[in-house]
Amino acid sequence: MKRLNIQTGASLIETIIALFVLAIGVLGVLSMQVKSIQYNKNSHLYSQATFLANDIYEGMLVTPDDANNYVILYDDPTPSKPNCITSTCTPSALVSWNLNNWRNNVESLLPGGRSEIESVDGQYVIRIEFELGYEDDGTPQTYEYTMVADI
């Protein structure tokens, strides 16, 4: 009577190789998850910048005759905020109120947020600058959203 050698289980080497292949796959999935979260955050910040630029543009449309009063550069101080909620504001006071709210929103909603509005050849250029992470040397990556609009 002949006896056949039948393998009844996996060898240790086959098990280690299978675990190694599984680990490589899991690391790939984790890497994609980390990138997905990073891209989602970047997309959110760009959306915020777009919303904020549109917000001040709509404010400019409310008082088109005073649109030139909205011109403010990055280094210019933020105008003081008049009380336009409980009292009636003049158009120039409304400009100050809009700029104050806008600048405060840019600074609070975007990391390293800065903003400016320039008048160039009859058009208004709205710029919002913000940070998206850091370079390898530790300096922040600064991005700028620019919107060009007519009033």
Residue 52 near residue 109 (C-beta atoms within 8 A): yes
CA 98 to CA 116: how far, in whole Å? 13
Residue 96 near residue 79 (C-beta atoms within 8 A): yes
Q: Cα–Cα distances in Å, from 90 out to 59, 64, 80?
A: 14, 13, 14
Residue 71 near residue 118 (C-beta atoms within 8 A): yes
What are the boundaries of each domain within the chain? 12-149
pLDDT in tens, 43-82: 999 999 999 999 999 999 988 888 899 999 999 999 988 8
pLDDT at 71: 93
Q: Which three-class secondary structure state does DSSP give residue 89? A: coil
pLDDT at 57: 95
Residue listed under structure tokens 């620019």: 146
CA 114 to CA 104: how far, in whole Å? 9
pLDDT at 6: 64
pLDDT at 51: 95
> What is the model's pTM?
0.77
Question: Which residue ranges of the chain lie beneath pLDDT 70?
Answer: 1-10
pLDDT at 111: 93
Residue 125 near residue 117 (C-beta atoms within 8 A): yes
Write the single-letter amino acid at 66: D
